[in-house]
Amino acid sequence: MKVLYAQSGGVTSVINASAYGVLDEAQKAGLEVYVGIHGISGVLRENLLKINGKDIEGLKYTPSAAFGSCRRKLKTQKDINKLFEIFEKYEIEYFFYNGGNDSMDTAWKLYTEAKKRNIPLKVIGVPKTVDNDLPHTDHCPGYGSAAKYIATAIMEATLDLRSMYVDSTRVFVMEIMGRHAGWLSAAAGLGWLNGIGADLILFPEVPFNKEKFLERVDESIRRKGYCSIAVSEGIKYPDGFFVADMGYTDSFGNRQLGGVGFTIAGMIRSELSLKTHVAIPDYLQRSGRHIASKTDVDEAEAVGRQAVKLALDGVSGVMVTINRVSNSPYKVEYGTVELNKVAEVTKYLPDDFHTDFEVTEEYIEYAKPLIEGELFPKFKDGLPVYTIFKEVEE
């Protein structure tokens, strides 16, 4: 029996821990294992790598997509037919797709096509996204580590600001990923657990009110002399237009966003005459494995292993979910949800997790267990050692 695994969408610092979970569990079951290089795009090109016998232990400590990712939707029957020709050629009986909303749509299409053809292909979705916006799961592997990175970065940057504001920068702005949901920007408020965090957070769920925002910045300046701000890339005006729309779309049809931090800083400079500084963590926040959460790493591996167990039990057409049982002590169980209930659906930051500019105690209680613990990679010559497969280079 043969397995095919592939990675898709924006990467995380723990997606390879899920890969390790899938690949190791499948090999333990005596299966022949392949991975698609660069997701479904690589599978369509028949760019597959056989894993059996390779050293994969380091995947648990390696960020980004070790086997390459892609941003591709299945839009044509021609592509679907091509995939099934490849599945048949390699005698693939189990397909695991590791990704987010759009990736689950791809997995759903393959599952329904297999049913239509009466082919016993088992398709399981393995959740992944730093955005934490997949529905029907308490949280997503990748989020805890990205949240930990953001919380730490805003703490350190705010301490820098606090040290220098007297005759230098008065306002620090950090632009954070998050097109529609404010889960990542909310993490900028977690630093208050240890005494310092973002003074203001701009969430995509809250329509941007320039006047109200500037009033809050001015109040912070008058009260303590400086202001630290976290802004989601996806904030919108009340009319629904993105504050930082770049004017074109990506291959998934999403409007491309960029520069909202500079836009916000420009408003502050022009209206309040304050010196500002802008930082854009960008890829750093999603691939910061050196500061990953142990909870996140462990759960990422666990959902991969659970996916294989489900498939071997004959389950198909579902994504693995993480269901929180308790906060104290923190405990989760693993379940499933039908792929079509996740595909292209967004879970927003709940109203009780935030106000207009701050996170609430409810959010902090939710997020705190997800950022706990450390599982550092090995270091050599002062730098982390990461696993790189030369076969991924094209």
Q: pLDDT tens for residues 111-145?
A: 999 999 999 999 999 999 999 999 999 999 999 99
Average pLDDT on 361-367 reads 98
Answer whether 9's CB lies under 8 Å from 99's CB: yes
Tell me the C-alpha distance between 23 and 3, whole Å: 9
Per DSSP, the three-state class of 249 is strand
Give the start-end residues of each E strand in the chain. Answer: 2-7, 32-36, 48-50, 92-99, 122-127, 171-176, 200-202, 227-232, 245-249, 255-257, 276-279, 318-327, 330-338, 379-380, 383-384
What would the 3-class secondary structure string for 137-200 be?
A: CCCCCCHHHHHHHHHHHHHHHHHHHHHHCCCCCCEEEEEECCCCCCHHHHHHHHHHHHCCCCCE
Neighbour tally for 256: CB within 10 Å: 13
Q: Is 283 labelled as part of a ligand binding site?
A: yes
Q: Is 179 labelled as part of a ligand binding site?
A: yes
Tell me, what DSSP letter sits at residue 317? S
Q: Is 10 labelled as part of a ligand binding site?
A: yes
Catalytic residue status for 131: yes
Rounded to two decimals, what is the model's pTM? 0.95
Residue from 79, 102, 105, 131 carrying the catalytic annotation? 131
Average pLDDT of the chain to the nearest whole number: 95
| Nearest C-alpha neighbor of 232 from the set 204, 257, 266, 210 | 204
Judged against a pLDDT cut of 80, whether residue 249 lies above it is answered with: no
Q: Is 219 labelled as part of a ligand binding site?
A: no
Q: What are the DSSP calls for 206-246, one per residue? A: S---HHHHHHHHHHHHHHHS-EEEEEETT-B-TTS-BTTEE
Judged against a pLDDT cut of 70, whether residue 248 lies above it is answered with: no
Instruction: Please report the pLDDT score of residue 179 as a whole number.
Output: 85
Domains of the chain: 2-129+289-344 (3.40.50.450), 143-287 (3.40.50.460)
Confidence of residue 391 (pLDDT cuts 50, 70, 90): confident
Q: Is 254 labelled as part of a ligand binding site?
A: no
